[in-house]
Structures are given as C-alpha cells and as structure tokens.
Amino acid sequence: MNNHNNQKTQPQTILVIDYGSQYTQIILRRLRESYIHSEIAYPSITLNEIVRKKYLGVILSGGPNSVDDNGAPQIPHGLLQSGIPILGICYGLQLIVHNEGGRVASGGKHEYGDATLIVPPSSPHTQAHPLLQGIPHESRVWMSHEDEAHTLPPHYRAIASTDNTTNAAIEHVSKPIYGIQFHCEVAHTEYGTLLLENFAKNICNAPQTWTPSNLVDTSVKQIRAESNGKKVLCGVSGGVDSTVAAALVHKAIGNNLTCMFIDNGLLREDEVANVQAMFRDVLKLELHTINAKDRFLNALAGITSPEEKRKIIGEMFIRVFEEHARKLGEFHYLVQGTLYSDVIESLASKEGVSQTIKSHHNVGGLPENMQFELIEPLRHLFKDEVRLLGKELAIPHNTLWRHPFPGPGLAVRILGAVDDESCRILRQVDKIFTEELHNANLYHQIWQALAVLLPVYTVGVMGDQRTYERVAVLRAVESTDAMTATWFHMPHKTLETLSNRIVNEVRGVNRVVYDISSKPPSTIEWE
Ligand code: XMP
C-alpha cells in the first residue's frame, strides 16, 4: 500500500525526543491540554529533519540511562548550536550539561518523590523568568533521579533549586537552552503544566491553536488538498475512530466519499441496523452494507484455534472488501482511522525502544498490496482528542463513548467452534449485560465490558427439569490504553440481576460466572 506522507501541512509543533522515560507521552498530553501541538521522535532524528519540519522547539525527555553509559542515547548532532529552543528534562538536562562541558555525577543518593522547588523572587523592577513565570517562590515538584548536574558548563547558570539540588533548573546565559532536574510532566509537580506552557509559549512562540474546532477546519483543508477531487473509499466498523474519520472526510469532500460496512455475522445484536441508522439519520452519509455473514461463518465452521480464527477472518475481510471496492468504482484513496498512539507504537518498535506485547489483527485495517493511497485524518490525535473532534462533528455521545469491540468480533468471544446458535446465545447475553450496565449507571465507569461463551456444559435445574447447558462469562475491566487492565469490582446487586436475567431469558445458558482476572497476566479478550 502506498503510504501517503502527511507532513505537508504540519501544524506548528513542539518536538519531544523520547529517551525512554515512562512519562514521555504525558509531556505531549500536557502540551495538548494547553492547546499546543507536539509530536514524538527518537534520538536518531537528525538536525536536518528537525529543521526541515520547522519544529518550534525541542524537549529532551527523561530516560533510564546515565550519560556516560556505553551506547547512551545522544542529542542530535548540532542541535545545541542550532539556536532552536531546547528544554531538557532530567536525563535531558544531564545530556545538555554533559555535552556543553559540565560534569554530571551521581548525587550520592537516589532522589525520588516530592521536593520543594525554590524560585528566586523577581524584584518589582525585574520581569519573571520566561520559563518560570507564574510559579511561586516555593512549590512542590517531583524528582526521580540518581545523577545530577554536579558542575555547570561555562555560560550556564542555575535559575531554581531544591534543598538537595542546587541546579534543579538551569539556563544558558544567552541561548534559549534550559534544563530541569524534576519531572514537570507528572501531576505531582504543582506548576508543571504551566512550566511546559511557558516554554512553548514564551520561549518557542508556539500558538495555542490545537482546539477541536481548529482541528476540524485544518483537517478539512488538508483532506481536500490531499484527495484533489478524486474518489475516496472508507471502510467503517461502527466504532469511534472509523466513524469520526468518515464524518471528517465527508465534511471535506462530500459525495466523493463512499463508505463501506461489512456485516461478517460476528457483530452484536442490532449492530447493523444501528450503524445504518446512524449513518443515514445522523451523519447523513450513504453507507454500502455488504452482507457477508454466510461466507464468514462457512469459513469458520469447525475451527477452534484462536489464531486460525483470526487469520480466516482477516483474510476473508480483505477478499470481501476488494471485491466490493471494485464493484463500487475507481478509488484513488482509502481512509484509515490510524491514531497517533498507533504511529508512536510502530515508530517505537521500528526504533527498538518498545516491545510489541500482542499484535492484533486489525480487521478494519486493509491489505498491504491494494493500490490505494492512504488518507489518515486522525494520525496526529490521541483517542480522547478523537472524541473531542467527534463531538465537534455532532457525532452522538453514545457512539463516541462506546466500549471497544475487537475486529474479529464475537468469534474471539465464542470459545471453540463458531456457529449460528453460539452467535445467537452470545448476542443475547451481551445485550442484557450492556442494558444492565446502563441501568445501573456503570457503563461509563467501565473501560470495556464483554461476554464470553464457553464450550462447556454444566448441569442445572429449572422448574423441576434437569438442564445441561452452556456457561456464560461476564468480564468488565478498567484501563486507560488496554495495555494493562484491572477487573472491575462489580456491585453484587448488579451481578445478581445479570445472572437472573441471563439464565431466565437466554435459552442455552444455565450458569453465569464473573471473570476476576487482570491484565497481565490475563488478556482482556479470552482468545
Ligand atoms: P487483549 O485481549 O489483547 O485486548 O488484552 C486489548 C484490546 O484490544 C481489543 N482487541 C482487538 N481489537 N482487533 C481489534 O481491532 C483485534 O484483533 C483485537 N483483539 C483484541 C480488545 O477488545 C481490547 O480492547
């Protein structure tokens, strides 16, 4: 697939170089909360690239290394001499000191936790320091370091201290280079967001224009320019990302967009009708629904291996998509709902800085060898920004805040072989589960809730009759990014209602269990 490079209309951006800190993404979040756009890159980025992309300033993140370690990641060559504003955080500060001729050494003990930052008061005749503007004489900051700037390089001076660290914040006397030993990005640092905003606004002159309505306007312009009057195809799933992407592209190019929705027979109860109604009545968008239920279910018949199921579904999806795309006309572009977290993840694994824990088959994702160029209108956004954008585009709240649903659908929630009858049972269980979570006002406290049907029969008694039926599992988790999750402490009253309703209303289930496993060691889905 021909990946379209989205750097043509780069928003005015601060670059964050990731040296391996677990807080790097939070730096981006903090800046975006101040309506300032920022992006991540890795230490291999060159000064040429930084200049070419016209970044307004560069933040060097913290990281686990010591500057003297063999192979410790470095500052891009020439960056300190370039005149581009720089802020080093923790390891970032130490890199600056080390490279400019100062001495970084272990502070003797590991300083971890709260400290009081002391900012010298400005006199009535002097202006507050541009980086520290608005930060009071004493405030709480969060430290996590062993090494520190022991001796400052020539032309550098301290601008704030703590009891333990004289050089808690430093600056170059004439160049826009700053460093802080504490972590301004974590919530424990009282004025951390303000400090980042000061750097971006006062020192880098970054505009605070990263707002949902501006985002819609810029994205619309960008999509119009990119698609250049040609026809665009968008595969939708009814989930947040593809719906927002479709609405945005439609706003930009109107009827040049065609949306396609594949009913693979593995969707939730009423899903097809709901998605169709939303596209028709709310988004006012034509939707081509392809009924491919039999093809998917026939291909899955008798298959019990989770990986084999995923493979079959993925391939079938591609085949159906290709066939129908050809019937619908000539398309030059394909919309994908890629998010910034996907971009970071694939960059990080390319750079070898993070491990892929589990690779999901994205059934909404499309074949590598299709001759489309990609339009990825969400590739600069995090999930919650997509929701803000969706709100701006008047996408209903219920759609924006739905729980995630996996591409392979019910097939990975029906353990063992998938057939019509199992799909019917699981759809009914899932429907009752969702209804009762709404009734108990719990749906939005839970990150994801799902039901699983086990290929296990147990004995029960209903009326005076012996039953021998299947077991349904209910699972609900709290999470922020699905990488880790904890099981949700469901009130007993809700569990009782759920168990009663499911056993009484769903033919084929006589036992309900609640999953109390977290991730890790379990995963969210059972397959
Ligand atoms: P696991 O089971 O790996 O799931 O803990 C993490 C999150 O990803 C969803 N999931 C998928 N999403 N295609 C998707 O689009 C898939 O193949 C897939 N498998 C799991 C899962 O629902 C959870 O939100």
From the CB of 360, is ligand 1 less than 6 Å away?
yes
What are the tens digits of pLDDT across the range 117-157?
999 987 777 778 999 999 999 999 999 888 989 999 999 99
Task: State how far the Cα of 10 lies from the Cα of 59, in Å rounded to an integer.
Answer: 18
Alpha-carbon dihedral angle through residues 399, 402, 406, 410, given to the nearest 10 degrees: -100
Neighbours of 249 (CB within 10 A): 27
How many CA atoms, within 13 angstroms, populate the side-chain half-sphere of residue 438?
A: 9
Question: Which of 111, 148, 171, 185 is the catalytic position?
Answer: 185
The CA-to-CA distance between both ends of the chain, in Å, stands at 29
Question: Binning pLDDT at 50, 70 and 90, where does residue 440 land?
Answer: very high
Beta carbon of 525 within 6 Å of any ligand 1 atom:
yes
Q: What percent of the chain has pLDDT over 70?
A: 93
User: Which residue is closest in CA terms to ligand 1's atom 18?
Assistant: 406
Task: Decide if pLDDT at 186 tops 80.
Answer: yes
pLDDT tens sequence across 75-99: 999 999 999 999 999 999 999 999 9
Q: What is the mean pLDDT of residues 222-227?
A: 94
Confidence of residue 320 (pLDDT cuts 50, 70, 90): very high
Min mean pLDDT across 1-15, 310-324, 421-435, 502-516 is at: 1-15
- Which of 236, 313, 524, 527 has the most ligand 1 atoms within 8 A of CB, as the residue to mutate? 524
| 304: pLDDT strictly greater than 70 | yes
Q: What is residue 10's predicted lDDT score, i.e. its pLDDT?
A: 59
Is 98 annotated in the active site? no
Provide the pLDDT confidence category of residue 8 given band limits of 50, 70 and 90.
very low
DSSP assigned state of 414: B
State the average pLDDT for the chain: 91
* Predicted confidence band of residue 366 (pLDDT cuts 50, 70, 90): low
Does residue 90 carry a catalytic annotation? yes
131: CB partners within 8 A, 6+ apart: 87, 159, 169, 171, 178, 195, 198, 199, 202, 203
Which has the higher per-residue pLDDT, 360 or 38?
38
Q: Both tokens of residue 280? A: 């028709």
At 396-422, the pLDDT tens digits run 999 999 999 998 999 999 999 999 999
Bigger pLDDT: 132 or 385? 132
